[in-house]
Amino acid sequence: MEKIWLEKSYPPGVPFEIDPDKYASIVDMFHKYTKVYADRAAFINMGAEISYSELAEQATSFAAYLQQDLGLVKGDKFAIMVPNCLQYPIALFGALLAGLTVVNVNPLYTARELEHQLKDSNTKAILIIQNFASILEKVIDKTPVEKVILTSLGDRLGPVKGAIVNGVVKYIKKMVPAFNLDNVEHFNKALAKGSKLTFSPVKLSGDDLAFLQYTGGTTGVSKGAMLTHRNMVANLEQAKAAIKPQLEEGKELVVTALPLYHIFALTANCLTFITLGGTNLLITNPRDMPGFVKELAKYDFTAITGVNTLFNGLLNTPGFSELDFSNLKLSLGGGMAVQRPVAEKWESVTKTRLLEGYGLTECAPLVTLCPYNQEHYSGTIGLPASSTDIRIVLEDGSEAKIGEPGEMWVKGPQVMKGYFNRQEATDEILKDGWLATGDIACMDENGFFKIVDRKKDMIIVSGFNVFPNEIEEVVASHPGVLEAAAVGIPHEASGEVVKIFVVRKDPNLTEAGLIKHCRENLTNYKVPKLVEFRDELPKSNVGKILRRELR
């Protein structure tokens, strides 16, 4: 497919190509910008801030601890299971400095989900927020994890404020269930120990693994996308190229409400804004919308990223429309479709355009983005990022014509190496360097792309991928269930919600009993919100349940 978007639609100042080898690794990039912007605030959380030089110093101490005290070596897997707080960037860059591969873990995972990810990734050590240590306790003996580093929410907020926050979380809000774990170190003690140890720099190349970023799959098993340092450098350069004409180096403050363990915020906020000398304002609990709006009122924020549900939630929170948006230059939406009413209301309230992008975990994640000079919401996912090629492929393998829908295939330096220890699944999605996304899209005469439908049965709830097989497996494990099918149903707030269709084995099985069973085995966004009992489910001639007939 000819790259017609380059000549016809690429905005001024955005290069056609980026250099994916600009930095030898993320660590190389980190060294450069922590020196250039040494005195700038790198991250702010709950009123506490850490400068670029402090971040470099503390990350190096953590790296020394991981190396010299825990004995971790280049290539070992290190899991981070914390929400947005200052511990995250310290641990993230500390692990990367030590040459480790970071395994990001959603802190809200159930024991079943956590066990799978730690085993599948062969994780040796984990940093976990103590609120969820009781979940780890249930499965740790079945995993390769040898060492646990515990942290509390207030650990990096200073002695007084930190103690207050930790006390409130534990004793007043009672958010820390009792747990008993052996071989534990506390985060602040690990940093103190590391500061007295000697860090040994690790030689890294672009081919070394930076992240095992877990994503669902059509088979329902969560798989680790192998993202190399080169993949990540390429994608942060692609993201930076697309937004830089709007921004000033050393002068930006980006609101980071999406979790940093999610690939969108990790690349778009954490990594990209470091190269701009920007400040990340970390929001620990964006679901507390009134609290979120109060926090926003304290800062002259210049950029914000989010998913449709987040923007919609803010727009419907009292006080948001009264905020000062005079410094806001960039609003970036991804993870799920941005809805027209939300985008238009955002534009009228904030006087900035909400630019929609499209990405996949397997692409680190950015693939396309609406141009920064777009005047209004367009309903498209924009133009391919610099150095990115896209083909629209028909069922017979031929290329689609302009305007004709087909499966979107992507090629570029951001495309993952493959799925960790899953060659068959890798071969299904990677074809001669092209990544088959499973999304049905079309391209218009100016090179703008639009998602038409999903080839996969994937459900997207508030920007998180939910795979029907996983839900069905959990539902079917209930002794009262004979058969089950899961589908996504459109929902105004979250884009989609999970609905299950169930054939009962036990006639006394209730909706409440089934939902309770799901809550025990699935993280909240995966739990079905709707249950419909049926006498039978539609099937193909080979007995496969036909989800499309249930939608």
- Give the tens place of pLDDT for each residue, 44-86: 999 999 999 999 999 999 999 999 999 999 999 999 999 999 9
CA distance 137 to 542: 43
CA distance 85 to 162: 12
Residue 466 has pLDDT above 90, yes or no: no
Q: What CATH code is assigned to 459-550?
A: 3.30.300.30
Please give the CATH topology (third level) of the domain spanning 50-204.
Rossmann fold (3.40.50)
Residue pair 239/263 in contact (Cβ under 8 Å)? The answer is no
Residue 165 has pLDDT above 80, yes or no: yes
At residue 16's C-alpha, the angle toward residues 13 and 20, to 5°, is 110
The secondary structure of the chain in percent helix, strand, coil, rounded to multiples of 5, reads 35, 25, 40
Classified as helix, coil or strand, 166 is: helix
Residue 217 has pLDDT above 60, yes or no: no
CA distance 260 to 258: 6
- Give the tens place of pLDDT for each residue, 322-340: 999 999 999 999 887 787 8
Residue pair 413/239 in contact (Cβ under 8 Å)? The answer is no
CA distance 113 to 106: 9
Task: Give residue 218's pLDDT band: very low, low, confident or very high (50, 70, 90).
Answer: very low
Task: Give residue 302's pLDDT band: very low, low, confident or very high (50, 70, 90).
Answer: very high
- Residue 204 tokens, joined: 């890294």
Asked whether the CA dihedral 205, 206, 211, 212 is positive or negative, the reply is negative
Task: Give residue 220's pLDDT band: very low, low, confident or very high (50, 70, 90).
Answer: low
Q: In what helix (H) or strand (E) does residue 331 lie, and over which residues does it extend?
A: strand 330-333
Write b or e for each residue in 418-448: b if 16 or more Cβ atoms lie within 10 A of its Cβ, otherwise e: bbbebeebbeebbeeebbbbbbbbbbeeebb
Classified as helix, coil or strand, 153 is: coil
> Which range (32-46, 326-340, 407-421) has the least confidence?
326-340
Q: What is the pTM of this model?
A: 0.89
Pairing of strands 434-443, 449-454: antiparallel
> What does the mean pLDDT of the chain come to?
94
- Give the tens place of pLDDT for each residue, 368-378: 999 999 999 99
CA distance 370 to 500: 35
- For residue 196, the tally of other CB atoms under 10 A from its CB is 10
Residue pair 129/429 in contact (Cβ under 8 Å)? The answer is no
Residue pair 75/96 in contact (Cβ under 8 Å)? The answer is no
Residue pair 313/289 in contact (Cβ under 8 Å)? The answer is yes
> Which range (431-435, 455-459, 532-536) has the least confidence?
455-459
Q: Where in the chain is the domain with CATH 3.40.50.980?
A: 50-204
Task: Give residue 476's pLDDT band: very low, low, confident or very high (50, 70, 90).
Answer: confident
- Give the tens place of pLDDT for each residue, 172-198: 999 999 999 999 999 999 999 999 999
For 317, half-sphere exposure in the C-beta direction (CA atoms, 13 angstrom radius) is 19
Q: Does residue 122 come out as left (phi exceeding 0), alpha (psi in the -120 to 50 range) or beta?
A: left
Which candidate, 114, 126, 21, 102, places its Cα nearest to that of 420? 102
Segment 220-224 mean pLDDT: 83
43 CA to centre of own chain? 18
Check residue 541 and give its pLDDT.
57
In degrees and rounded to multiples of 5, residue 227 shows phi and psi of -105, 120
Q: Where in the chain is the domain with CATH 3.30.300.30?
A: 459-550
